[in-house]
């Protein structure tokens, strides 16, 4: 535990601009813990904070919602968590428990959630506060830089695949091989699905197979839909690349009662004919992250089946560089800020 009374953090000072500042060490309020951050992933969703103007008089926000660290202080009323315990914090870090979704037990779709790095300060920092109800237990033997992206990118792909209705042996296609897709292919393979990867260019075929894809479909080489139908039709297509056109191309590749599950948010619309849905009873749906328990199951499954993100690490001082490169898709495949390295 550090004896310092201040900590460093990267804050948003203008749209797209981060600055390293020194702040007084905060004390956790009721129901909160203070975490000494080990690593924090740099996710595209961080742009919802970083690209926004800073409101006049508002505190400068710290982004980051893929956080791994250790508890170093516990607020009043916190039970079940101890100083020194290794924990994580993901995108959804608390719920209001009073909105219609929460009252129906659907806390993932809470209408007034605590969102790490958006409604509260996140993990681009040496220290952060978190609601105890939003904490995830992180195994001791997990590398922090590899565990961090699993708390958002990993959770999103893992949960989407296991809840999509496919069974072992079904054809599941992953559209995209980026930050989300390279994890989705690994999860799909380990879950027992016949896995197809869809990307642009023949040069990605070997990489897709190394990740566990049984089939590779080059979207530049012909019809994605026909390629999927030639394989028998997909039970599930997981949309991980932010391309509405790419997702649209895959709809006709679904088998009867197949499902397009959208997890990336494209800037262009997803379009298809109603007949593509009606004839064959196909569907298009979206899914968002998961609960803290889902996150712990993601880590457990990844640990059991050796699913790991490919990461490029940066020091906290390089937060601007890491963020800019992530936004340019110039990182293979997840950027991670590493703070407070454990001394061996």
Percent of the chain scoring above 70 in pLDDT: 98
pLDDT in tens, 81-127: 999 999 999 999 999 999 999 999 999 999 999 999 999 999 999 99
Q: Predicted confidence band at 57 (pLDDT cuts at 50, 70, 90)? A: confident
Residues 139 and 176 in one domain: no
Q: Name the domain boundary from 286, 312, 330.
A: 286
Q: What is the pTM of this model?
A: 0.94
- At 190-243, the pLDDT tens digits run 999 999 999 999 999 999 999 999 999 999 999 999 999 999 999 999 999 999
Query: Looking at residue 55, what is its pLDDT?
Result: 86
Q: Are residues 175 and 69 in the same domain?
A: no
Mean pLDDT of 32-58: 94
Among 286, 310, 329, which residue terminates a domain? 286
Q: 145 and 91 share a domain?
A: yes
* Site of tokens 């080489």: 221
One domain for residues 309 and 232: no
Asked whether 202 and 218 are in contact (CB, 8 A), the reply is yes
Our measurement of the distance from residue 220's CA atom to the centroid of its chain's CA atoms, rounded to an integer in Å, reads 27
Question: Residue 343's pLDDT is what?
Answer: 42
Please report which helix (H) or strand (E) contains residue 6, including its range. strand 6-14
CATH number of the domain to which 97 belongs: 3.90.180.10
> Which residues span the domain enclosing 45?
6-152+290-338
Same domain, 106 and 174: no
Task: Judge contact between 16 and 63, C-beta under 8 A.
Answer: no
Q: Domain with 175 in it: what CATH number? A: 3.40.50.720
CB 110 within 8 A of CB 99: yes
Question: Burial of 188 by CB count in 10 Å (0-12 exposed, 13-18 middle, 19+ buried)?
Answer: buried
Looking at the structure, tell me whether residues 16 and 146 fall in a common domain.
yes
């Amino acid at each position: 535990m550090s004896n310092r009374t201040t900590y460093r953090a990267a804050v948003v000072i203008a749209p797209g601009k981060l600055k390293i500042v020194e702040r007084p060490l905060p004390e956790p309020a009721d129901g909160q813990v203070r975490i000494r951050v080990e690593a924090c992933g740099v996710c595209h969703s961080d742009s919802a904070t970083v690209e926004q103007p800073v409101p006049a008089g508002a505190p400068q926000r710290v982004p980051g919602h893929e956080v791994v660290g250790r508890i170093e202080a516990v607020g009043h009323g916190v039970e079940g968590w101890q100083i020194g315990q290794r924990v994580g914090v993901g995108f959804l870090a608390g719920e209001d428990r009073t909105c219609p979704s929460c009252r129906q037990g659907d806390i993932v779709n809470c209408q007034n959630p605590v969102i790490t790095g958006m409604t509260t300060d996140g993990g681009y920092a040496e220290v952060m506060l978190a609601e105890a109800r939003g904490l995830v237990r992180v195994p001791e033997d997990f590398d922090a830089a590899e565990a961090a992206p699993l708390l958002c990118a990993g959770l999103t792909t893992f949960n989407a695949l296991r809840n999509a209705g496919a069974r072992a042996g079904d054809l599941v296609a992953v559209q995209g091989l980026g930050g989300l897709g390279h994890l989705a292919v690994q999860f799909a393979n380990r879950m027992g699905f016949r896995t197809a990867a869809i990307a642009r260019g023949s040069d990605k075929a070997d990489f897709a197979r190394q990740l566990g894809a049984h089939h590779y479909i080059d979207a530049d080489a012909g019809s994605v839909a026909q390629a999927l139908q030639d394989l028998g039709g997909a039970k599930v297509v997981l949309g991980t690349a932010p391309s509405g056109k790419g997702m649209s191309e895959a709809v006709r590749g679904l088998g009867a009662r197949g499902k397009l599950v959208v997890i990336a948010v494209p800037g262009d619309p997803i379009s298809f004919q109603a007949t593509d849905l009606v004839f064959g009873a196909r569907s298009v749906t979206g899914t968002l992250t998961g609960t803290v328990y889902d996150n712990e199951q993601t880590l457990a499954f990844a640990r059991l089946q050796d699913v790991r993100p490919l990461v490029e690490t940066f020091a906290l001082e390089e937060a601007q560089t890491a963020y800019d490169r992530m936004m340019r898709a110039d990182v293979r495949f997840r950027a991670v800020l590493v703070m407070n390295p454990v001394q061996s």
